[in-house]
Amino acid sequence: MTEMSFSVPLSDIIRQFSLEEVYLPCDPAQVQITSTDVLRPGLQLTGYFDHYDSTRIQIVGMVEYSYIKTLPDEQVINVFEALFSTGAPALVLTRGLEVVPGILQTAKAHNIPILRTEQSTSAFMSALIAYLNKELAPRITRHGVLVEIYGEGVLILGESGIGKSEIAIELVKRGHRLVADDAVDIRKVSAISLIGSSPKVIRHFIELRGIGIIDVKRIFGIGAVKDTEKIDLIIHLESWQQGKAYDRLGLVDEYTNLLGIDIPSLVVPVSPGRNLAVILEVAAMNIRQKRMGYNAAEALNNRLIAEMNGGNQFDDGF
């Protein structure tokens, strides 16, 4: 398992949000954005720079622009000289605002890209932050298979050769979708969510021992694949071990921690004759029921308790 830090080039942001290039001192592909946060320089325009983070994209909206327009030209230059001298990856003007000459002059002096969008400030900021959170999210790569089963993202882990890819193909034949085979890139996109995807070079391909590499999208159609999926359940496959006590009731929930987030998980033993594709389908439906508030193991346990207490009324949870 490897953990890495990431950056996103400014050129990708320009392309993603169709930003107008007002001033570019260099190739935007060389400007790397490393912070998921952005900044509207309100206090900074008044000269307060404590806790100022120069790695953030600066955004000037109508409020900041209206204040700047009240300043004399010389003061505008002084304000942005102080702002740009500490560095900034770029400044974006929202609502199609005109560039004040003093801003452009100081941007050229410090090689700060100036961009513009017609979007409102709030809409652009929220979209940009969401994009940066995805692109710069902490991530790891795990050896496994990620499939979507009935809308649930199921990450299948296990030793090489245990049959993960074969299970994935069987699930695809049953109408479910492949996200990644062999290597799964996992991103932490929020405090409670993990998103899995495949490395681009092997996306939609799967390896079957004895057959080789197949293209799932071309064989089964575009509806058989998906680029990304939230990870809702982790299945650990292991060879059946005689004498090992496997969970047969499910009263105790188990979790696997990835990137600081606990994901519900199950250990499923592999042995000849077990239809693992069907088992994983049932596991996916069962985890959805639990999330909706119904636990079959607890319902059965309550029935048994009621029976022992002489009761005859059962609550099935529906």
Residues labelled as active-site residues? 143, 164, 182, 248
Q: If residue 165 lies in a helix (H) or strand (E), which one and from where to where?
A: helix 164-173
**Among the listed residues 251, 244, 233, 252, the one whose alpha carbon sits nearest the alpha carbon of residue 271:** 244
Q: If residue 4 lies in a helix (H) or strand (E), which one and from where to where?
A: strand 2-4
Q: Could you tell me if residue 310 is left (phi over 0), alpha (psi between -120 and 50 degrees) or otherwise beta?
A: left
Q: Could you tell me if residue 91 is left (phi over 0), alpha (psi between -120 and 50 degrees) or otherwise beta?
A: beta
**Among the listed residues 235, 236, 248, the one whose alpha carbon sits nearest the alpha carbon of residue 297:** 248
DSSP per residue over 213-239, as a string?
EEEHHHHH-GGGB-SEEE--EEEEEEE
What is the spatial distance between Cα 182 and Cα 88, in angstroms, rounded to a whole number? 39
